[in-house]
Structure 1
Amino acid sequence: MKIKIGIVDDDLLFVQLLKNYLENDARYEVVLTAKSGNAYLQEARIPLDVLILDLRMSDGDGLEVLSGLSALQNEIKVIVLSSFYRRSFMGHMLKMGVHAFLPKEIELDELSEVIHAVHLKGHYFSNEQVDVMRGQLSNKLPQFHAYSKDDLTEREVDIIRLICQQQSTREIAESLFISPKTVETHKTNLMIKISVKNMAGLVIYAVQNGIVDAAEIVLFDK
């Protein structure tokens, strides 16, 4: 099945060019476009796999969209693609539930592969972003989760470690000799248990609780 994509950006020419490019890739289908955050939120219940979202828009910006999706408990994977890109914003983007944060100057073929990685793995970090996060996720950060690593089962800890090694659901299942469905069940239970919204949240949790060292996080290949 094709990956269903939505694009929210007030640059109509950019939207059309990106839509045309992605639809030439057999993996993707652009099923929704919107020129503002508010226009998208009116259609936010349309099923999507990945949402490509601009930050700065006049009628409802990207942050409003992220807040709206959170209120709707929508599990769409969000890629923020913005000319207002700053590496230092990475931590805030993760807290807002973003699965990838990219500059608008990115090459189209690289963006295409990021979309596929986010859909498959749950999140995407560039080498530079991981370096920034290593600085932001120091041991001095407060432990704000209701559960610590001591409250997790051995299997749950194993799964978090493998997620940090960039393993897909299928690869985790093979590593632990369990079914992919069981892996997905563990992932869902973990996110509920430690109050995070996505795989990026699990990675942050793992670093904060000493399950993995920040230097051990496996980088995504470009």
Structure 2
Amino acid sequence: MKKNINVALLDDDCLFVEGLASLIGNNPNFKVVFKASNPIDFIEYLKTTQELPDVALVDLNMKPLTGLEVLDIINQNEIDLRVIVLSSLFNSSMYGYMIRYSISAFLPKYTDKKELFEAIEQVYHHKVFMNEENQLLIKEYYNSKSKSQNPWSNISLSERENEVLTCICKEMSTREIAENLFITVKTVESHRSKIMEKIGCKNVIGMVVFAILNGLFVLTNNNK
């Protein structure tokens, strides 16, 4: 039996979050397990729930905590949550700023339901969703003066670390990476730890975003 994807929602616009819950709830592949219009309630839910949602949709412009503050709390508490930011603040500068938070996807609030559903599915199955508009935003951010804000701009990985990172982006298992690169599983795990330490991330999402931002990996339909 196919598992429903459990979704949590956070947006301080009560009417919007109710409408979004209804829209997502009507899809038989999804189940809305929590919805909140107060960021504090959302954080409390994440800290106390017995089972985290598979995917969370989070707004940015909220009170009393902004979406960025919510993401910061999630990271500080090492909560393993795949987050899709759904916001009207959709631009390259904001996308670049959010890179440090290892979000799984960034979509504007005018996104149609087909693409929203696809994003939820892709984030659940593959950790990251990026459409063409996202990739253009990253390119714009990377080529603009704001690229100096890239927290990873001065990080250098070794050739072997780049190879391991590329394999990770392709969703290869540790054993598959070892076999592909003719190294031991222990060596792969060592490289993975060093990569995460250099980047300063705590999960695969951060590594994938780093790879995309720095031109080490291109997300295409073939990668999904």
**Fold shared by both chains (TM-score > 0.5):** yes
**CA distance in 1 between partners of 2:18 and 2:191 (Å):** 36
State the shift of 1:92 in Å: 0.8
Match of 2:101 among 96, 99, 107: 96
State the shift of 1:204 in Å: 4.7
- Structure having the larger proportion of residues in helix: 2
Verify the 8 A CA contact 1:7 1:33 in the aligned structure 2: yes
Verify the 8 A CA contact 2:92 2:141 in the aligned structure 1: no
Verify the 8 A CA contact 2:78 2:202 in the aligned structure 1: no
Identity value in percent: 28
Superposition map of 1:1-222 within 5 A:
1-45=3-47, 46=49, 47-137=52-142, 148-150=156-158, 154=160, 157-164=162-169, 167-169=170-172, 173=176, 189=193, 190-192=195-197, 194-206=199-211, 212=216, 217-220=218-221
Verify the 8 A CA contact 2:88 2:108 in the aligned structure 1: yes
The runs of 5 or more residues in structure 2 that have no matched partner are: none
**CA distance in 2 between partners of 1:198 and 1:149 (Å):** 17
* Structure 1 counterpart of 2:42, one-letter code: Y
**CA distance in 2 between partners of 1:72 and 1:5 (Å):** 20
**CA distance in 2 between partners of 1:55 and 1:143 (Å):** 20
State the shift of 1:86 in Å: 1.9
- Taking structure 2 as the reference length, what is the TM-score of the superposition? 0.74
**CA distance in 1 between partners of 2:15 and 2:200 (Å):** 39
The runs of 5 or more residues in structure 1 that have no matched partner are: none
Structure 1 residues 119-159: Cα deviation after superposition (integer angstroms, max 9, x where no partner): 11111222122123234346x85885997422x7x4x5444
Verify the 8 A CA contact 2:130 2:219 in the aligned structure 1: no
**CA distance in 2 between partners of 1:48 and 1:192 (Å):** 27
**CA distance in 1 between partners of 2:21 and 2:197 (Å):** 34
What count of residue pairs does the alignment treat as equivalent?
A: 208
Partner of 1:112, secondary structure, is helix
